[in-house]
Chain A
Amino acid sequence: MTQKEKGWKEISPAGVCWKPSTQFLTGDWKTYTPVRDPAKCTRCLLCVIFCPDGAIRWKPEANDIEFDLNFCKGCGICANECPTKAIEMKLE
């Protein structure tokens, strides 16, 4: 607990969030990291749709996907769903 944490008189009741959940980085929970082979990837975006944490984004300007490892929990659903087996889950 750092000095920056607020005291009970400063926070809103009932656990009302005073900052967005995106500021709470949960990526360090994972044991496995997705590693993609760009050569095998067809940009079908199934992994973007299946990721339960929204941790894979489509970047239209780059015509490519991007893993946000700040939120990826390493569940491996992307690797499982990938039709070309372009994603491998590697032990951290």
Chain B
Amino acid sequence: MKQFLYLITAVILATTFVGCEGASPNTVVVYTALDEIYSKPILDAFTQETGIAVQAVYDTEAAKTTGLVTRLINETNRPRCDVFWNNEVAQTILLKDRGILEAYAPVAAQDIPAPYKDGENFWTGFAARARVLIYNTDQIEDPPTSIHDFLRPEYRGKCAVALPLFGTTATHAAALFSHWGDAKALDFFRALKENEVAFVAGNGVVRDAVARGEYAFGLTDTDDANGAMEDGLPTKWLLPDQDALGTLLIPNTVALVKGSPNPTGGQQLIEYLLSPAVESRLAQSRSIQIPLNPKVEVPENVPSITAIRRMPTTFEEMAAHMESTARQLRELLVK
């Protein structure tokens, strides 16, 4: 019994002291909402290049569960994280508004166009994803081209969207509320519901359900849509509303956390993430993230930022509408 208790104590002590480098100057802690399969190789490359170790915490489905943003809000009295690398922008702006971020103007951000970075340097955008229509090629020959096609009677019960309370679909909904106004946007979502559009658990679920043929088409992000195509599934995708409303682009954002344990290392990581090499790498990956830096060469299968008609909404307006949009949509859809 005694030996057993000694063993247990030894294991606990060992696990307590492993990873002691947590607060050392040669370690950066990053909270990242970008998929681990894409973000980890980049963080490893940073370590190889600079010798600075990176300890990463990855998000679970862009705050489907209470993820990194909730953590950051609750850790304000003693931040554990140096850099927040979000895969979208609205919640980063909400963190800025709550005073959780530190202003920092990265040198590497000079070439990023102004709409994609904060005027007060609290965050910088890079490598965007677009909200796209994914359709099943076995079921659709003449693909829909607009989000308004979800309302067409012939597609009743045949299309899917992620529940617009979480992730990038929530951001997209906030953009529509911001652009159209509350009444028109709410009517649109009400019409979606009446046309029996399925509100599923996430963008990945939309992709899978369309690929399986459960739904003819749906709304998702470029990374999910391209992944399905690369897997050889019977799907294609397109940018919606290129002749009118425009497509929503959602950049990754990177920000320094206020009072972080290692701000110098954090700044180095931010500079690295904003470098053209990282944007190029993300563009060439399976997630085909769209480079925002004009100096980065765009691969053939990735749409160019200059060729996309964007939704005319600023990210700040979107962020300002996030809460009211979520409240209204929750009343409408969750019952």
Q: Does B associate with A?
A: no
